[in-house]
Amino acid sequence: MAITAQVFCVGTADTKLNELRFLSDSVRSSLATFSDTSSSKVQVVIVDVSAGQKETEISGDIKFVTRKDLLLSYSESVGENPIALPDDRAIGLGGSGGTSLISSAFRFLPVGVPKLIVSTVASGQTEPYVGTSDLVLFPSIVDICGINSVSRVVLSNAGAAFAGMVIGRLERFQQPPNEGKMHSGGQDYGIAG
């Protein structure tokens, strides 16, 4: 039985439309390469969280979501999602503002769910963006403002890394549950032992 999953590629299309398209194409290409032997089918959807809907109206293949709805969909205080947003895999890109907005939502995805943001702030102080989640910040190396020789490599690598996370999760959930006991371990940072 084939599973059809969705991957959401989230960003601000008003300033990063070309980069969003390139990243979503990279994810699609990598998913096709990694999953050619898999029964899993994955659809990649671009989600625009710009301040306005202008770019989405011009490009009919992009889903527009208000910033308020993005944050409400992932908030712990909301009992029901007002709109359908990813609850199982999401990738985004942004500068400091976009990363702040997108990471505020992605942090609420459960541990183990693939979530990655290509960001200009990934090489700095990341705790405000990541918090206690397993969100992956992928350094953009250069400002996310057009596709050039550096951003092409970075976005391609981010798309491939994320696709590997998605396929790994899909394949893991197609396997029968592990019989036996479940084991858990933990480590406190700064505690030698």
Rounded mean pLDDT, 112-132: 93
C-alpha dist (Å) from residue 12 to 66, 95, 137: 10, 10, 17
Residue 181 lies in a domain: no
3 state SS of 115 = strand
Q: What is the sign, positive or negative, of the torsion defined by CA atoms of 128, 165, 143, 92?
A: negative
Q: Is residue 191 part of a domain?
A: no
CATH number at residue 157: 3.40.50.12020
In a domain, 185, yes or no: no
- 9-18 average pLDDT score: 88
Q: Tell me: the pLDDT tens digits for 146-163?
A: 999 999 999 999 999 999
pLDDT of residue 65: 74
Q: Is residue 192 part of a domain?
A: no
Domain count, the chain: 1
Q: Is residue 184 part of a domain?
A: no
* Structural domain that includes position 79: 3-174
Tell whether 188 is covered by a domain.
no
| Residue 145 placed within a domain | yes
The model's pLDDT over 36-57, given as tens digits with 9 standing for 90+, comes to 655 667 788 888 787 776 655 5
